[in-house]
Amino acid sequence: MSFQQVEEMVTAQLRIIEPSALGRRALATARSFLTGPELIRCDSLPSGQARRNLTIGHALVRVVVAEQFALEPAQVLLVQKCPTCGGPHGRPHVADLPVHVSITHTANVVAVVASRRGPIAVDCEECPPRTHHRDAMTRLIPSGENSGDDREAVKRWTIHECLMKLGMRELDDLRPVHIAAHPQKPDTFLVEGSYFSSVALPAAVVTVGSPAPVDLSISSEVPEPLKSASMPIHPPPQSIGPFTGRPTVRRHSAQRSPF
Ligand SMILES: [Zn+2]
């Protein structure tokens, strides 16, 4: 018998959808899953797009968790409570269920991830980036590695955001992101001891990060509970790579919260 060390895998579900794929009825269904505090926060957002994407993200994460636990989406209670000020922002968590979740969106993509095994984060950014974001993103590329490829800069930014969501980096910590290949898994890469996988969409990059190796299943299908009046969306692209963690304390940053 071999006593070779085997990394314990974390199973996680990543779900990516285009908000424009959801019709009015699906959006109404999505909204019906939200609780009073979520609706108040949602309705306080300044743009229709922001309200739509928050609604979809919060509904989608319920759908994914409900699938894992054989529940109805509306039975999944999603809570955001800032540990510093008590406000309805900060890392989302699911009440009363042993599952970790993360939510992200750009204008045209909403992505959620759920894992029953440990902390997990997802971040999505538009690619190519807006001009005013490109400089900050490019700073994350180690010197000598900048090929001028926008996707590399955007990917590093998503890793930076995941590290923040996992409490492993501060918002203003723009040290270069050094990526190392995983010795066994070509779709996984390592950054600062954590495991990452990235997915390249036509106009965005989605990255999932975890302190432990992740066995990631990816779906870009609009899930059944939100399917009414929906259109199909792009197939998920090639996986690029996940990551690991020590518990750290996240400083308060409500104004520029990545969540
Ligand atoms: Zn706060």
Q: How far is the CA of 159 from the centre of ligand 1 (A)?
A: 23
Q: Is 92 helix (H, G, I), strand (E, B) or coil?
A: strand
Q: How far is the CA of 45 from the centre of ligand 1 (A)?
A: 16
Q: How far is the CA of 83 from the centre of ligand 1 (A)?
A: 7
Q: How far is the CA of 61 from the centre of ligand 1 (A)?
A: 22
Q: How far is the CA of 85 from the centre of ligand 1 (A)?
A: 4
Alpha-carbon distance of 104 to 207, in angstroms, equals 10
Q: How far is the CA of 81 from the centre of ligand 1 (A)?
A: 8
Q: How far is the CA of 89 from the centre of ligand 1 (A)?
A: 6
Q: How far is the CA of 41 from the centre of ligand 1 (A)?
A: 13
Alpha-carbon distance of 236 to 223, in angstroms, equals 14
Instruction: State the pTM of this model.
Output: 0.84
User: Which pLDDT score, from 0 to 100, does residue 8 have?
Assistant: 60
Taking residue 236's Cβ as centre, other Cβ atoms within 10 Å add up to: 18
Neighbours of ion ligand 1 (CB under 5 A): 82, 84-85, 87, 254
Alpha-carbon distance of 178 to 140, in angstroms, equals 8
Q: What string of pLDDT tens digits covers the 259 residues of the chain? A: 444 445 566 689 999 999 999 999 999 999 999 999 999 999 999 999 999 999 999 999 999 999 999 999 999 999 998 888 988 778 899 999 999 999 999 999 999 999 998 899 999 999 999 988 999 999 999 999 988 899 999 999 999 999 999 999 988 889 999 999 998 888 999 999 999 999 999 999 999 999 998 889 999 999 988 886 444 444 444 554 443 333 333 445 444 556 6
User: Which pLDDT score, from 0 to 100, does residue 88 have?
Assistant: 79
Sequence-separated (6 or more) residues with CB below 8 Å from residue 177: 140, 141, 142, 156, 159, 160, 191
User: Which pLDDT score, from 0 to 100, does residue 10 have?
Assistant: 63
Q: How far is the CA of 102 from the centre of ligand 1 (A)?
A: 18
Q: How far is the CA of 259 from the centre of ligand 1 (A)?
A: 11
Domains of the chain and any CATH numbers: 10-247 (3.90.470.20)
User: Which pLDDT score, from 0 to 100, does residue 239 have?
Assistant: 52
User: Which pLDDT score, from 0 to 100, does residue 251 have?
Assistant: 47
User: Which pLDDT score, from 0 to 100, does residue 7 have?
Assistant: 54
Assigned token pair, 95: 């009440």
Q: How buried is residue 68: exposed, middle or buried, by Cβ count under 10 Å (0-12/13-18/19+)?
A: middle
What residue type is 253 in one-letter code?
Answer: S
Residue in this structure with the two tokens 């994914």, named with its chain if needed: 64
Q: How far is the CA of 50 from the centre of ligand 1 (A)?
A: 19
Q: How far is the CA of 95 from the centre of ligand 1 (A)?
A: 19
Q: How far is the CA of 25 from the centre of ligand 1 (A)?
A: 33
Q: How far is the CA of 166 from the centre of ligand 1 (A)?
A: 17
Sequence-separated (6 or more) residues with CB below 8 Å from residue 192: 163, 168, 169, 178, 243
User: Which pLDDT score, from 0 to 100, does residue 220 have?
Assistant: 94
CA atoms within 13 A on the CB side of 140: 26
Q: How far is the CA of 80 from the centre of ligand 1 (A)?
A: 10
